[in-house]
C-alpha cells in the first residue's frame, strides 16, 4: 500500500464495481426502533454522556437537512461537526493526518478538498444501489479524514444521512462499528453488503411488528389454547 492512505483509497474507489453491490428494496423503511438514536443513547452514553448528547444534536441537524432537501456539502458537514465536537468553529484539516495509532497517513494536496466535495455529491447518484452509496460515503469520510477529530462519528452520521434521504433508517447500527482499511476493495463491497443486510433485516422486523400490531387490533393474535374464531359475516346475514 502507498504510504498515503488517502491516495490509495481514491485509487481503490475508482476500481471497485459499486454497481455490483447488493441493492435494496427502494421503498422507505420506518423501523419501530431508531437504531442510530439508540446507539447514541445507549453504548455511547454509557461511555460519555456529553458526547451522546452532542451526537444526538448532530443527528437532529442531519435529519433537518434531509427534510429541507439540502445536498451533502462540506459546509453542511462543518455544521454537524461543530455539534459533534461541541466547538464554535471547525476547519478542514490543513496538513497530513494520521489514524490507527499513526500507521495510516492521509495526505493533503492542492485538489484534496475539491475531490472531496465532488465525492460528496456522488452520494446522491441514483444509478448506484443505496447500500453502495452509503458505504462509499462512509469510507470517503473515514479516509479523507476531513477534520482533526471526530471523523469516525461523522462517518456514521453521513452514512445514515445518505440512507435517510431515501426514507430508509436502520433499527441497529452496532454491526457497522468495525475498523476499515483504505487498501481493501473487498472490504468496501463487504460494507455495502452489510448495509444491504441490515436494511433487509430492519424491513423484516418492521413488517413483523406491523403484522403483529395489525392482527392484534383485529383480535386475530391468539394463544394456542384459545377457542376457535367464529367465521366473519356481513351484517344482516344469518350467523
DSSP assignment string, 174-187: GGG-S---TT-HHH
| Predicted pLDDT at 226 | 39
Q: What is the pLDDT of residues 207-222, one digit of tens each?
A: 655 443 443 444 433 3
Q: Give pTM, 2 decimals.
A: 0.85
- The confidence score (pLDDT) of residue 229 equals 35
Give percent of the chain above pLDDT 70: 84
Q: State the helix-helix crossing angle for 130-144 and 151-164, rounded to 10 degrees.
A: 160
Domain spans, the chain: 5-211
Cα–Cα distance measured from residue 129 to residue 165, given in angstroms and rounded to the nearest whole number:
13
Task: Name every residue whose Cβ is closer than 8 Å to that of residue 117 and which is 6 or more positions away in sequence.
Answer: 73, 74
- In this structure, what C-alpha cell is assigned to residue 235? 351484517
Count of helices and strands (H, E) across the chain: 9, 2
* Mean pLDDT value across residues 189-217: 76
pLDDT score for 4: 97
For the beta carbon of residue 205, count every other beta carbon within 10 angstroms. 16
Q: Residues 22, 130: contact at Cβ < 8 Å?
A: no
Q: Which CATH class is domain 5-211?
A: mainly alpha
Q: How far apart, in Å, do the first and last CA atoms of the chain sit? A: 77
For residues 209 and 186, the answer to whether their CB atoms sit within 8 Å is no
Distance between CA 30 and CA 9 in Å, rounded? 33
Coil vs helix vs strand at 29 = strand
Distance CA 117, CA 92 (A): 12
Identify the pLDDT of residue 144: 99
Q: In the chain, which ranges are E strands?
A: 97-99, 104-106
pLDDT in tens, 40-99: 999 999 999 999 999 999 999 999 999 999 999 999 999 999 999 999 999 999 999 999
Q: Report the alpha-carbon distance of residue 204 to residue 33 in Å, rounded.
A: 13
**Cα distance between residue 208 and residue 202, in whole Å:** 10
Amino acid at each position: 500500500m502507498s504510504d498515503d492512505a488517502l491516495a490509495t483509497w481514491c485509487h481503490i474507489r475508482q476500481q471497485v464495481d459499486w454497481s455490483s453491490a447488493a441493492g435494496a428494496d427502494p421503498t422507505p423503511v420506518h423501523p419501530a426502533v431508531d437504531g442510530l438514536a439508540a446507539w447514541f443513547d445507549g453504548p455511547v452514553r454509557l461511555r460519555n454522556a456529553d458526547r451522546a448528547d452532542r451526537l444526538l444534536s448532530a443527528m437532529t441537524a442531519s435529519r433537518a437537512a434531509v427534510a429541507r432537501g439540502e445536498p451533502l456539502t462540506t459546509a453542511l458537514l462543518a455544521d454537524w461537526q461543530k455539534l459533534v465536537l461541541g466547538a464554535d468553529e471547525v476547519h478542514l484539516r490543513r496538513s497530513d493526518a494520521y489514524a490507527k495509532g499513526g500507521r495510516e497517513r492521509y495526505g493533503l494536496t492542492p485538489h484534496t478538498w475539491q475531490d472531496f466535495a465532488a465525492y460528496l455529491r456522488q452520494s446522491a447518484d441514483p444509478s448506484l444501489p443505496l447500500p453502495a452509496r452509503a458505504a462509499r460515503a462512509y469510507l470517503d469520510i473515514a479516509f479523507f479524514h476531513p477534520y482533526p477529530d471526530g471523523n469516525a462519528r461523522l462517518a456514521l452520521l453521513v452514512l445514515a444521512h445518505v440512507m435517510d434521504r431515501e426514507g430508509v433508517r436502520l433499527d441497529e447500527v452496532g454491526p457497522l462499528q468495525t475498523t476499515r482499511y483504505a487498501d481493501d476493495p473487498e472490504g468496501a463491497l463487504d460494507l455495502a453488503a452489510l448495509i444491504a443486510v441490515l436494511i433487509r433485516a430492519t424491513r423484516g422486523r418492521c413488517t413483523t411488528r406491523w403484522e403483529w400490531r395489525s392482527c392484534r387490533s383485529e383480535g386475530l393474535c391468539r394463544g394456542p389454547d384459545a377457542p376457535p374464531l367464529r367465521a366473519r359475516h356481513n351484517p344482516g346475514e344469518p350467523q
